[in-house]
Amino acid sequence: MMRIAHLRRNVTDLHYRRKPRNLCTFSKSFIQDNDENDTHFVSILKDILRGNQSWKVALNDTFISTTLRPHHVEKLLTQTLDDSRLALRFFNFLGLHKGFNHSAASFCILIHSLIQSNLFWPASSLLQTLLLRGLDPNEVFDCFLDSYESCKFSSTMGFDLLVQNYVQNRREMDGVDVVRLMMECRLRLLPEVRTLSTLLNGLVRIRQFKMAVQLFDEFVNGGVKPDVYMYTIVVRSLCEMKDFVQAKEVIEKAESNGCALSIVTYNVLIHGLCKSHRAREAVEIKNLLSQKGLKADVVTYCTLVLGFCRVQEFEVGMELMHEMMELGFVPSEAALSGLVEGLRKKEKIDDAFDLINNVSKVGVAPNLFVYNSLINSLCKDGKIDKAESLFNKMGTKDLFPNDVTYSILIDSFCRGGKLGVAVRYFDRMSKDGIRATVYTYNSLINGECKFGDLTAAESLFTELIEKGLVPNVATYTSLISGYSKAREMHRAFRLYHEMTEKGIAPNCYTFTALISGLCRANMMPEASRLFNEMVERRIMPNEVTYNVMIEGYCWEGNTTKAFELFDEMVQKGLTPDTYTYRPLISGLCSTGRVSEAKEFVNNLHKENRNLNEMCYSALLHGFCKEGRLKDALSACREMIERGVDMDLVCYAILINGTLKQQDTRKLFSLLKKMRDQQLSPDNVIYTSMIDAHGKSGKFKEAFGIWDIMVGEGCIPNVVTYTALIHGLCKAGYLNQAEHLFKEMLIGNCFPNHMTYGCFLDHLSSKGHMEKALQLHKTMLEGFLANTVTYNMLIRGFCKMGKFEEASELLVGMTNNGIFPDCITYSTFIYEYCRGGNLQEAIRLWDTMLDKGLKPDTLAYNFLIYGCCVNGELIKAFKLRDDMIRRGLKPNRFTYNSLMHGTWLAST
């Protein structure tokens, strides 16, 4: 214990008892030893506690405030066990008004004392505060046990309360530790049966079934006599573990021990059997109930009905439904919905309606619910036309649609992208006098965010609030998802902060939408921080969250981190799918590790993981990108052998690979295989072939493919036109390119900046700068000009040595809200270096860096070359080192320049 320093005067000289209010005159010295000082000081505190003076005034005394330590409060509490209310008030006063940090021992003493006085609520509140300190359960228990023994408390309810609080706080495993410590400690404390039932129930809630059964055995071996609730919990645990033999043995043992089991226990067993598709066995249990003096209730029958629905035996389910109605039981909505859904799947709609009519005879109200369920099932199966037909016939059956009916249809149309139809139903709902709910608005907002426009979604959101409805997490998440997909992250986060400020807690889908937006915007550090924040909030990421993060890291080229998340995902029991595998395969391929990607695919196949054509297309693209067409075709054969069919994307990748290698034989072979699969080339494939022939100058073949494309009803798009125009411009056939351009306009296929760029690049490279500027002016007027088009003009003027005109363009592009990039500056730097104006080249280099632009290998090579030919060899080598620091690899041109510069310096 902490000791009080020796003071100069004895506390007995203070006449404290005679003058309790004159605290400021107290002496501040003791001459007795420390234990005696503690005793006197606690006595002072006790007088303050029980006296009439103001606690605030008394405890403001310097001597009291500087001397008071936690162990003094502990001693004081042990001396006030007779008045636990007073002790609690003093305890709280010290904490709230004096900021005093109580010891765990003080908490435990007071909790025991309050329970002793039957003050369970304040004791529980105090215990909650103690647990918030994050102490280890062993420490808390030891403290509870020490205080229990030292104060000789008679009631052990404090330990029960501790276990119950752990369970309430979702800390069931800590509760298990405490119970075991109670039973193993020197006093061999036995928790109440009610407490043990609460703990077992908590374990079942977190699906720790094996632990629940194990703990039950420990309780029984420890002398606990289980009640019906404990037996029922264990039976449920065993059923969840599919150990029905032991579940039945537990029931038999309970009966032999004289425990009067209720129908609830048997219903749990029946539910477990039905859940495991053993409905026939469950019926046998029901038939034996009468021998045990029990009767099946509505839960028994409804469980059996759902059980037979699960095993697709709807006829037996119908028989049980009729039997329960004859006994006067009212079936549950779930049982009715299950049968109606099952009959609908078997296309027995008439039987479903007969069931509805029969149920109405026994006074069941949810006719509309069952009807809604049927409409909902049809909508989920994509049979919206039939759902509409049922909706329109509701009036003939004296049924009137409610907000749920409308919401089902509106939601279905929104999910299908039929927003116009959804809005018509929404208006009809209003005309019928049915007030829209937040869920109806959520469907419309979600539909607009996915298929419509965000402005309309915002308008609906405003209307929702104006009508007095309160937006929920789904409302905000839809909007956040919409803005995240549109890469308007500032708006997405504005809504996120708005919802949290209103006390609406974000869920997994909210965080996933934001993380997805950050990944799309290539903001992986921010996405990672948000992912960690999500975990810290105890919102567990799902498969989609991990897939989004994995794809984000793969886009960034950080496959190491992506695979770490993949391993973490598997460890947490989440199931990866094709949306997980595809970016990992693509990420390995994009970083030059195609062989590793192939090995990864083979391992997944060995583990019986289902891969689809998207996963294989990523691998095929990787092989073709590296020119490994043979390996790509081999992977293609394996893909087919593994039961995955080739689609148009896979064929497009392979065809593009054969075109690059100019392998005509393989090209025709692939086209034949496509035809054999009843697949026709699409725009992408035709455009690839036209582009390849155009680039190699084979325009006769290119136009031949064009004619075949049109003849098969595949209309060329802007990409197709641009590909052929680009080839013609590069080959110098400007007239033919212009003719194709006019044909494009006549066909209502509007050119884009790439199309105009083909002509602009040709004019600039040929030095026809006046025509190029005129064309670029047209592009500016149509908002088609960009950094690339300006770079073409700047390069043209620089090649002609017209730096003044080029510089004017640099100013003009910023005035038009278009900003130069690394290529823009590199063009100037190269020309300045070539012309011997190294000083101006370095000035532009510094300007580029100041603007946050990252130079590439080509830019470094230009300036290194300039430094070398101008005798600035030290500067050249410094640039080489800076280049390496930035993660760029010097190439042959870099070293040739440095060697040439070194030779010049030596001669």
pLDDT tens readout for residues 400-413: 888 888 898 999 88
Asked if pLDDT for residue 15 goes beyond 50, the answer is no
pLDDT of residue 398: 64
* CA gap 236, 213 in Å, rounded: 10
Q: Which amino acid is at 901?
A: G
Are the C-beta atoms of residues 206 and 170 closer than 8 Å to each other? yes
**Range with lowest mean pLDDT among 71-85, 338-352, 803-817:** 338-352
Q: Which two tokens stand for residue 498?
A: 């708005």
| pLDDT band (50, 70, 90) for residue 6 | very low
Q: Distance of CA 627 to CAs 353, 552, 648, 674, Å? A: 63, 26, 20, 22
Look at residues 44, 38, 96 and name the one whose alpha carbon lies nearest to residue 70. 38
Are the C-beta atoms of residues 133 and 154 closer than 8 Å to each other? no
Q: Half-sphere exposure of residue 121, counting CA atoms within 13 Å on the CB side? A: 0
In DSSP notation, 412-480 reads HHHHTT-HHHHHHHHHHHHHTTPPPPHHHHHHHHHHHHHHS-HHHHHHHHHHHHHTT----HHHHHHHH
* CA gap 584, 549 in Å, rounded: 11
* CA gap 72, 90 in Å, rounded: 13
Beta-carbon contacts of 775 under 8 Å, excluding residues fewer than 6 positions away, are: 756, 759, 760, 763
pLDDT of residue 63: 84
Mean pLDDT, the chain, integer: 85
Location of structure tokens 């708006």: 491
* CA gap 264, 256 in Å, rounded: 18
pLDDT of residue 21: 35
Asked if pLDDT for residue 23 goes beyond 70, the answer is no
Location of structure tokens 């008071």: 68
| pLDDT band (50, 70, 90) for residue 65 | confident
B/e letters for 330-361, b = 16+ CB within 10 Å, e = fewer, are ebbeebbbbbbbbbbeeebeebbbebbeebee
Q: Distance of CA 97 to CAs 55, 60, 70, Å? A: 10, 11, 16
pLDDT of residue 7: 30
pLDDT tens readout for residues 236-249: 999 999 999 999 99
pLDDT of residue 35: 67
pLDDT tens readout for residues 314-347: 889 888 988 888 888 888 877 877 887 788 777 7
State the average pLDDT over residues 506-514.
94
Task: Report the share of the chain in percent with pLDDT over 70.
Answer: 93
Q: What's the gap between Cα 250 and its chain centre?
A: 41
State the average pLDDT over residues 196-206.
91
Beta-carbon contacts of 107 under 8 Å, excluding residues fewer than 6 positions away, are: 126, 127, 129, 130, 143
* CA gap 440, 426 in Å, rounded: 8
Q: Extract long-range pairs of 162-169: CB within 8 Å, 24+ residues apart.
A: 162/127, 163/191, 163/195, 163/198, 163/199, 164/124, 164/195, 164/198, 165/124, 165/127, 165/128, 165/131, 166/131, 166/137, 167/198, 167/199, 167/201, 167/202, 169/128, 169/131
Asked if pLDDT for residue 359 goes beyond 80, the answer is no
State the average pLDDT over residues 201-206.
91
Query: Where exactly are the structural domains of the chain?
Result: 63-191, 684-744
Task: Report the share of the chain in percent with pLDDT over 90.
Answer: 27
Are the C-beta atoms of residues 209 and 241 closer than 8 Å to each other? yes
Location of structure tokens 């039976």: 235
Are the C-beta atoms of residues 457 and 478 closer than 8 Å to each other? yes
Radius of gyration of the chain (CA): 40
Look at residues 168, 213, 159, 216 and name the one whose alpha carbon lies nearest to residue 191. 159
State the average pLDDT over residues 496-504.
93
Look at the alpha carbons of 594, 597, 599, 605 in this order and tell me if their dihedral is positive or negative.
Answer: negative
DSSP assigned state of 21: T
State the average pLDDT over residues 92-117.
88
* CA gap 194, 226 in Å, rounded: 10
* CA gap 661, 650 in Å, rounded: 17
State the average pLDDT over residues 636-663.
87
Q: Which amino acid is at 668?
A: F
pLDDT tens readout for residues 546-588: 999 999 999 888 999 999 999 999 999 999 999 999 999 999 9
**Residue 874: count of CB within 10 angstroms of its CB:** 10
| pLDDT band (50, 70, 90) for residue 363 | low
* CA gap 601, 598 in Å, rounded: 5
State the average pLDDT over residues 850-854.
84
State the average pLDDT over residues 266-277.
91
Are the C-beta atoms of residues 565 and 546 closer than 8 Å to each other? yes
Are the C-beta atoms of residues 275 and 242 closer than 8 Å to each other? no
Are the C-beta atoms of residues 823 and 807 closer than 8 Å to each other? no
Q: Distance of CA 203 to CAs 123, 210, 237, Å? A: 24, 9, 9
| pLDDT band (50, 70, 90) for residue 592 | confident
Are the C-beta atoms of residues 736 and 763 closer than 8 Å to each other? no
Asked if pLDDT for residue 637 goes beyond 80, the answer is yes
* CA gap 583, 569 in Å, rounded: 15
Asked if pLDDT for residue 1 goes beyond 50, the answer is no
